[in-house]
Chain A
Amino acid sequence: MSIARAERLAARPWAARLVKPEALTGYGLISPAVFLMLVLLAYPFVLAVSISLTDRVLGEPGKFVWLENFLKLLQDSLFRQTVWNSFVYTISTVFLKLVLGIILALLLNQEMPYRNLVRGALLLPWIVPTSLSVLTWLWMFDSLFSVVNYILLGLGLISKKIPWLGDPFWAMVSVIIVNTWRGLPFFAVSILAGLMTIPRELYEAAETDGARAPRQFWHITLPLLQPVIAVVVLFSTIWTFADFQIVYILTHGGPINATQIFATMAYDVALVAGRIGEGSAISLFLFPALLVVIILLLRYLRRE
């Protein structure tokens, strides 16, 4: 600050306090970020919440109905099935991704030839646009031309073809498989990063004390991985509850609504049938529950 300017400001203390140039610059610098957050995150969210409290249909303003949409949904048999499906889908995929992710990360943490190449290749399912890779899966599960059935039959593992997308049970299995396949790299890579930060000395000390690999894993690896695991599980849970593409492309929620989940049902109700008030309510239904989970997890992480 120039001396002349400092003198000018000293002459007007209140103004100086209010508009400290540093503070002003500070606000100026974060304002684009705040602006972006408001426009891109807060506005759509507030809008969605406000729409979900109306009985709005496409092209008509609708009126305010408080929580009626949410209460009606609780009575709706299709919605109850959707809630159930969403939980089955999310819990089983997150569990599978976590277990397989840890195993994969442990394997990749070993010394082996072309390790970096393998680690890079691992990310492929995550890099390919979901809609494209799911279309490939659609072909692999095709009722007539399924290559998966072809191989399983050829190996003699099954005696008649599996109706992958045609049976309520197998359809759920199919979407779970594809979601696990697609989300596994995120788990594996994140956990691998966590593994690499664990100091070698801890294992050396444990070895000296006579602890074998399983005990080392249980008492060293797992506790030290906990923060990483908490974060990936949190993210993955949110993403999976909000998943749309995999189910929409593979089964479109069928057969007989066996794989209908929040996002696909919200899409059908809001955009195709035009009931956007109710559609918003469907997509926001889990928000309060997820919010609680997020707060608890973040608190836990801060304590760590």
Chain B
Amino acid sequence: MRKMKQGLVHSRGDGRISRRAFIGVTAGATAALSFGTFIRSGLGAAKVNVLTWSNTLRAMDDVLREQAKQYTKEKGVEVSFEFINQTDLPAKTAAAVESGAGPDIITLWSDGPHLHAKALVDVDDVTASLGKELKGWTNIGKDIAIVGKNWKAVPWGIIPIALTYREDWLKEVGYSTFPDTWDELLAASKKLKDKGHPVGFSLGRAIGDGNQFHYPLLWAFGGAEAKKDGKTVAINSPETAKAVDYRRKLYQAGETEDVFAWDDAANNRAFLAGAVSVTVNAASIYWAAKKDAPPLREVTNHSFFPKGPAGRFGYSTAISLGIFKFSKAQKEAKAFIKWLLEPKQYSAWMGIGEGMMAGLLNYYEDDPVWKKDPKLEVIRQIPKYVRMPGYPAPPSRPAAEAMIKFVIVNMFARAAKGMATAETIKIAEQELKEVYGKA
């Protein structure tokens, strides 16, 4: 050992390395190492890095990992997926946009293509050829990904959000099918709670479930946060007031105060524990029950959101794949995205999710997965009713900010806590004006 050291650096003779020699050697080694990395990254074949969320259903991520390997083998282009927590995605995206460095392909949440349009390359060529081959894009696909005139991302899929309910308990109180209107749901909720089976829709900080329940409720009564121009705040309306009154009644008749504490995972747990009879969710509860509670799965079913005076609405998270302008592998990234959305790959991925994810190309409405289980039929049709926050205006930065600030959910939550309708709407209006005023 001592000999080796002496051979490597100038020794002080006593076997210890002199400080100067130490610094020299470490600096040299670092430089050599980084130069090596530089050479490799500069001269090697293009590599496509994809940053995406780690799915609640790990099996779906495993399919992607396999497909990336397969792609590399077939096309000779290296592709790697990095999976991170969904809640970390905004921060990572922000860092990439700001620093101009990061993954080539990024997974964008619903309004992402609109928020980050300037950092993304146009992908019209990819969407055009996919649209031609696969019966065109759904409306929601176009809504999220077209900014101005161009496609800023390729719509990847939508996580259909339905009402998940207990058939057996609804039968117990006299319903053989799920209530079709909001008023009927109110009546049913009261009966359910009286039997000890409350319903539950998060009024807390559940960025997914809370917003996914309350925007459609607002729209179904004819309310909206802004006008179609996306600038004029329009929350203060008789329609909104009706929705708020309704929400207060629904809380009092059918829920417990647990709903104020719920995050996105809490209602899944409550449903699986048999503590609530109806909640709002993706097919993930149904999926989880397969392993954890098979008897529960037998009596669990899905329903559309009820109809209101203004119609039937839904809000589900849709995801899309964008390519950063700073990417050095744009051509390769486009080719990979196109390949990923072709039936052979896409059906395998979507199929394993069993309703967790639906395609945004019309072709995938007839995917074999939907015929696997009649309880998925509702899930298949959900995307038809989906609108995005900010509706009737297109997705925008103010709409995104209003959602992350829970303006709409909190408006309903204050009412459920007992605040007068006019007062809570006024607070929401003020908050919306502050948000929209900056646009």
Contacts and interface: CB of A to CB of B under 8 A. Distances in A.
Interface stretch (A8-16, A93-101, A151-159, A249-257): A249-257
B364 interface: no
B258 A163 contact: yes
B404 interface: yes
Given A166-B204, A268-B404, A268-B405, A274 B94 contact: yes
Interface stretch (B113-121, B135-143, B187-195, B330-338): B113-121
Interface in A216-247: none
Given A144-B266, A272-B400, A166 B260 contact: yes
Contacts of B115: 58, 274
Contact of A272 (B258, B259, B404): B404
A75 interface: yes
A110 B59 CA distance: 57
Contacts of B258: 143-144, 163, 166
Contacts of B397: 57, 273-275
Contacts of B119: 58-59
A65 B90 CA distance: 26
B97 A255 contact: no
B94 A271 contact: yes
Given A163-B261, A257-B410, A142 B90 contact: no
Contacts of A298: none
Given A166-B257, A274-B397, A60 B118 contact: yes
Contacts of B203: 255
Given A143-B266, A144-B270, A274-B400, A253 B205 contact: yes
A255 B401 contact: no
Given A255-B203, A256-B417, A166 B259 contact: yes
B30 to A, nearest CB: 15
Interface string B222-263: 000000000000000000000000000000000001111111
A150 B200 CA distance: 21
A276 B98 contact: yes
Interface in A114-172: 141-145, 163-167, 171
B97 A58 contact: yes
B105 to A, nearest CB: 17
Interface string B260-283: 111100100110010100000000
B120 to A, nearest CB: 9
A193 interface: no
Contacts of A164: 261
Contacts of B263: 252
Contacts of A77: 427, 430-431, 434
A254 B257 CA distance: 14
B91 interface: yes
Nearest to A69: B438
A256 B413 CA distance: 7
Contacts of B406: 254, 256-257
A267 B260 CA distance: 22
B297 interface: no
Contacts of B261: 141-143, 163-167, 171, 255
Interface string B388-417: 000000000100110011100010011001
A257 B258 CA distance: 17
Interface residues of B, number: 40
Interface in A182-198: none
Contacts of A59: 97-98, 116, 118-119
B204 A255 contact: yes
25 contacts: A57-B397, A59-B98, A72-B438, A75-B434, A78-B405, A143-B261, A143-B262, A144-B269, A163-B260, A164-B261, A166-B257, A166-B259, A166-B260, A252-B207, A254-B204, A254-B260, A255-B261, A256-B414, A268-B404, A268-B405, A271-B90, A271-B94, A272-B400, A272-B404, A276-B94
A268 B261 CA distance: 19
A76 interface: yes
B31 to A, nearest CB: 17
A269 interface: yes
B369 to A, nearest CB: 32
Contacts of A257: 405-406, 410
Interface string B92-107: 0010011000000000
A150 to B, nearest CB: 14
B187 to A, nearest CB: 25
A160 to B, nearest CB: 10
A251 B413 CA distance: 15
A116 B213 CA distance: 54
Contacts of B273: 144-145
B205 A254 contact: yes
A269 B118 CA distance: 19
A272 B94 CA distance: 8
Interface string A69-98: 000100111100000000000000000000
B90 A272 contact: yes
Contacts of B431: 77-78
Contacts of A276: 94, 98
A275 B98 contact: no
Contact of A256 (B275, B400, B410): B410
A173 to B, nearest CB: 13
B44 to A, nearest CB: 28
Most buried by A among B115, B204, B410: B204
Contacts of B413: 255-256
Interface string A263-304: 000011111111110100000000000000000000000000
Contacts of A166: 204, 257-262
A170 B310 CA distance: 38
A273 B400 contact: yes
